């Protein structure tokens, strides 16, 4: 987390609009007891202080249980959580916003979150069906993606889906601009284009890479969005003394060392009206990143 904070500070362009997201699995695995551990609380607080905009709910967050998820939703002030197919049993409505739209003036970006229903079989105890349930992934995509395409200039999907599922989803929804999936994809952490324009990025699981992406839009381009990405290894060059290094050392009760670094994250740099061919190489558009099993965008 300390290295990721240094990465953001080093590469963030104050002249651009930033949309910082996470694809999910940003907390540790809660196990049978559920709840938010001290590490979970550290991560949630850190994301708030790093001004994360939108976080997707993935398997590790679901494992915290209904009450913890409700508390997370209701007590976090500035960060939005998304999940289109995690449904509250009592109301029949999504427990979190299915999607969030950020308006940057002449560019509107929609961000939607999806869980993989196959990861939550009815016969398992992963979800307490008396309070919440995970509905069909494809049905949720069909319900909400057409709305986002109508309302926005670019759509980003945050998810925890394997490569085959993403291939199928993009075939059905070729207007998706970007898919960020926590965990491993066949393409690793290299941004890949599927279909006519969908950029797909896997966050990996090592937590040692920082990613950001530039999305650029001009009305004259029609439905096209300029894209470029940047990735850098979060090695010793990002060991910057200061607030975040001190926070991590305090949390771990020991001096920060390369072996104790938390996984990285990602940001999307939204730069309306910027010619994608004129982006400086040291600010190349980027994508997202992951922590020991969690992901960001």
CATH number of the domain residue 162 falls in: 3.60.21.10
Q: In DSSP terms, which residues pair with 274 in a beta bridge?
A: none
Short-list 241, 212, 243, 245, CA closest to 229 = 212
- Look at residue 258 and tell me whether its pLDDT is greater than 90: no
pLDDT digits (tens, 9 = 90+) for 4-36: 889 988 888 888 888 989 999 888 776 556 788
pLDDT digits (tens, 9 = 90+) for 135-179: 999 999 999 999 999 999 999 999 999 999 999 999 999 999 999
What range defines the domain where residue 10 resides?
2-255
Residue 160: inside a domain: yes
DSSP assignment, residue 91? T
Grade residue 223 by pLDDT with cuts at 50, 70 and 90: low
Q: How many angstroms separate the Cα of 262 from the Cα of each of 195, 274, 283?
A: 34, 33, 24
Short-list 89, 82, 1, CA closest to 40 = 1
pLDDT value at residue 183: 78
- Look at residue 294 and tell me whether its pLDDT is greater than 50: no
pLDDT value at residue 269: 52
- Report the alpha-carbon distance of residue 34 to residue 47 in Å, rounded: 21
pLDDT digits (tens, 9 = 90+) for 103-125: 988 889 999 999 999 999 887 77
Count: domains in the chain: 1
Residue 269: inside a domain: no
pTM of the model: 0.84
Residue 271: inside a domain: no
pLDDT value at residue 13: 81
pLDDT value at residue 31: 54
DSSP assignment, residue 204? B
Where helices occur in the chain by DSSP H, the ranges are 2-11, 38-49, 59-62, 66-75, 137-151, 163-172, 243-252
Do 93 and 87 meet the contact criterion of CB atoms below 8 Å apart?
yes
Say how many C-beta atoms besides its own lie within 10 A of residue 49's C-beta. 13
Q: Mean of the pLDDT values across residues 130-134?
A: 94
pLDDT digits (tens, 9 = 90+) for 37-76: 888 888 888 888 888 999 999 999 999 999 999 998 998 8
| Residues above pLDDT 90, as percent of the chain | 41
Residue 86: inside a domain: yes
Q: Residues with Cβ < 8 Å from 295, sequence gap 6 or more? A: 22, 23, 24, 25, 26, 58, 160, 180, 181, 182, 183, 202, 203, 204, 266, 288, 289
- Report the alpha-carbon distance of residue 93 to residue 76 in Å, rounded: 20
Short-list 72, 69, 118, 74, CA closest to 89 = 69
Residue 148: inside a domain: yes
SS3 76: coil
């Amino acid at each position: 987390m300390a290295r990721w904070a240094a990465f953001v500070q080093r590469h963030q362009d104050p002249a651009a609009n930033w949309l910082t997201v996470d694809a999910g699995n940003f907390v540790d695995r809660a196990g049978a007891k559920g709840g938010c551990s001290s590490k979970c609380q550290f991560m949630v607080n850190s994301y708030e202080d790093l001004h994360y905009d939108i976080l997707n709910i993935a398997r590790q967050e679901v494992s915290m249980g209904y009450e913890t998820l409700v508390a997370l939703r209701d007590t976090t002030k500035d960060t939005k959580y998304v999940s289109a197919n995690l449904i509250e049993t009592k109301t029949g409505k999504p427990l979190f916003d299915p999607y969030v739209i950020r308006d940057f003036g002449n560019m509107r970006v929609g961000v939607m979150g999806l869980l993989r229903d196959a990861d939550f079989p009815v016969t398992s105890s992963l979800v307490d069906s008396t309070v919440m349930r995970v509905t069909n992934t494809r049905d949720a995509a069909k319900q909400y993606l057409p709305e986002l395409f109508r309302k926005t200039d670019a759509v980003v999907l945050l998810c925890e889906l394997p490569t085959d599922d993403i291939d199928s989803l993009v075939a059905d929804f070729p207007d998706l601009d970007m898919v960020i999936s926590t965990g491993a994809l066949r393409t690793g952490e290299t941004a890949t284009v599927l279909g006519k324009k969908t950029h797909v990025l896997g966050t990996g699981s090592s937590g040692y890479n920082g990613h950001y992406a530039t999305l650029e839009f001009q009305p004259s381009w029609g439905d096209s969005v300029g894209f470029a990405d940047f990735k850098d290894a979060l090695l010793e060059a990002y060991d910057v003394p200061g607030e975040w290094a001190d926070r991590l050392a305090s949390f771990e009760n020991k001096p920060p060392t390369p072996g104790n670094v938390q996984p990285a994250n990602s940001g999307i740099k939204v730069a309306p009206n910027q010619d994608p061919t004129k982006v400086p190489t040291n600010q190349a558009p980027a994508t997202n990143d992951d922590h020991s099993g969690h992901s960001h965008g």
